[in-house]
Amino acid sequence: MSLGLAIALIGLTSLALAILLVPLLLRRQTDLSRESYNLAVYRDQLAEVERDAGRGLIGAEQAEAARAEIGRRILALAPRSAVEPPKSSASFAVAAITVLLLPFAAWLLYARLGMPGLPDEPFAERAAAAKAVAGGAEHLDLGEAIAKIGAHLKEHPEDLTGWLLLARTQVSLGQYAEAVEAYRHAADLSGHRPDIMGDWGEAQVLAANGTVTPEAREAFETALADKESAPRSRYYLALAKAQQGDTKAALQGWVDLAADAPADAEWLPLVRQRIAEAAAKIGVDPANLKTSSGMPSPAAVAATAQATANASPEERRAMIEGMVGKLATRLEQQPDDVEGWARLGRSYMVLGDAQKARDAYARAVKLKPDDAALKEAYAEASRAAEKTDGK
């Protein structure tokens, strides 16, 4: 402990003792002085009554009544002074000793339980230590959870929910190899349910440091049947082709995935990055890319529209109609293709044709009325069309 800290503690202790002792020392003196003051006031009042009576300012009856009232007040004050004994000096001594012993008791406790010789710790190090302890505690909690789940699964190996919980917890801790085995049990118990197969495949990729293994590829192919996890499976299957050296096929897979993706999909930027990397690797202009159906992707439509910005309106309209006409014709022949109608709506929005975009999105919403993303896109196209109609 430094000298400065010791001086500061002594000063604070002295101040606390003064705050506690001063009221004890002054209380008796204050009580006595208040009674003496009241008695002096009553005596002055009696003298004033005598003077007023002598000068004839008040009558004899009034003077007698005033004397009686003042005398009653003096009598009311006097018995308390006479009967009520002064406060015991013993109780004052006990209080004073208790106050004096409190700081010494605190010092004794600190000497036994504290660590006076512990060096100072900077605030930055305290924050780092607290963070490390919190992280370790969280890791310990998850580790304990894994142990409990593992013990439960030994007794109930048929618990599908338990295997899924174990696998997801292991993934969160970076225990990818263990998670692969847990997902394997879950996949077998579920009869190779597509969504679980997708999770299993991704765990295998993580365990292999990003490599899509043959077993993971089989899992993703099975997971394609699940609409919600299908985009993830399509992404990894395209990545598998890229890792096998077939960059062109991988690029096509990512282009098709981007064309079918909702505009607000969180994973869409990653897919676009993969498209750019693959296109650069094989020397292809992303603006010239087409989907597997032979139609240009929304990115290609946007690039073409920008390239023809200086053309005449008639020429620009002819080029645009040439790019999207085939898709519109195909959709008339295959009107149940909800993704195709959505893609056509996005292409029209890129070109600024809000009315046709609205009609295309309306067809898509009719086929898939519960799709929130399609409804939002339709509403946006409708608002844009209303603004255009109002001009």
Single-letter residue type at 318: A
In Å, how far from its chain's centre is CA 10?
45
Q: DSSP 3-state assignment of 296?
A: strand
Cα-based distances in Å from 262 to 267, 363, 373: 10, 16, 7
pLDDT at 352 over 50: yes
| Interval 193-216: pLDDT, tens | 999 999 999 999 999 999 999 999
Q: Which of 183, 212, 177, 204 is nearest to 195 (CA)?
A: 183
pLDDT, residue 83, reads 43
Fold observed for domain 300-390: 1.25.40
d(CA 92, CA 102): 16
The pTM (predicted TM-score) of the whole model is 0.46
Per-residue pLDDT for 84 more than 50? no
Mean pLDDT of the chain: 77
Give the pLDDT score at 75.
73
**Average pLDDT score over residue span 24-29:** 56
Confidence class for position 95, pLDDT limits 50, 70, 90: low
Q: What are phi and psi of 173, to 5 degrees?
A: -95, 0
Residue 223: what pLDDT?
92
Per residue in 46-66, pLDDT tens? Answer: 788 788 777 777 777 777 777
Q: Which residues have a Cβ under 8 Å from the Cβ of 185 and sit 6 or more positions away? A: 157, 163
Widest distance between CA atoms in the chain: 130
Rounded alpha-carbon distances, angstroms, from residue 37 to 32, 44, 316, 376: 9, 11, 108, 86
**What does the pLDDT look like over 113-155, one tens digit per residue?**
665 555 555 545 445 544 554 444 445 477 788 889 989 999 9
| 319-346 burial code (b ≥16 CB/10 A, e <16) | ebeebbeebbebbeeeeebbbbbbbbbb
Backbone angles phi, psi at 290, to 5 degrees: -125, 155
Long-range CB contacts (within 8 A, 24+) of 170-175: 170/146, 171/203, 171/206, 172/142, 173/139, 173/142, 173/143, 173/146
Give the pLDDT of residue 295.
52
CA proximity to 209, closest of 237, 185, 234, 243? 243
Range from 20-34, 108-122, 216-230 that averages highest in pLDDT: 216-230
Residue 297's pLDDT is 54
Q: Does the pLDDT at position 183 exceed 90?
A: yes
* Range of weakest confidence among 73-87, 186-200, 210-224: 73-87
Mean pLDDT over 73-84 rounds to 57
- The reported pLDDT for the residue numbered 54 is 77
Cα–Cα distance for residue pair 220/216, rounded to 1 Å: 6
Closest of 254, 249, 252 to residue 233, by C-alpha: 254
What per-residue confidence (pLDDT) applies to 317? 60
* Mean pLDDT to the nearest integer, 362-386: 90
CB atoms within 10 A of CB 316: 17
The domain over range 139-286 is classified in CATH as 3.10.20.30? no
Cα–Cα distances in angstroms (integers) from residue 271 to residues 240, 311, 386, in the given order: 14, 32, 33
pLDDT value at 219 more than 60: yes
User: In angstroms, rounded to a whole number, what is the distance separating the alpha carbons of residues 236 and 215?
Assistant: 12
pLDDT score of 137: 45
The larger pLDDT score, comparing residue 377 to residue 104, is at 377
Angle of the 268-282 helix axis to the 230-243 helix axis, nearest 10: 20
Kindly report, residue by residue over 290-347, the tens digit of the pLDDT. 776 555 555 555 555 555 555 666 766 666 666 677 778 888 888 988 888 988 888 8
The continuous run of DSSP H or E covering 106 comes out as helix 89-113
Residue, of 8 and 118, whose pLDDT is higher: 8
**Pairwise CA distance, residues 77 & 93, whole Å:** 28
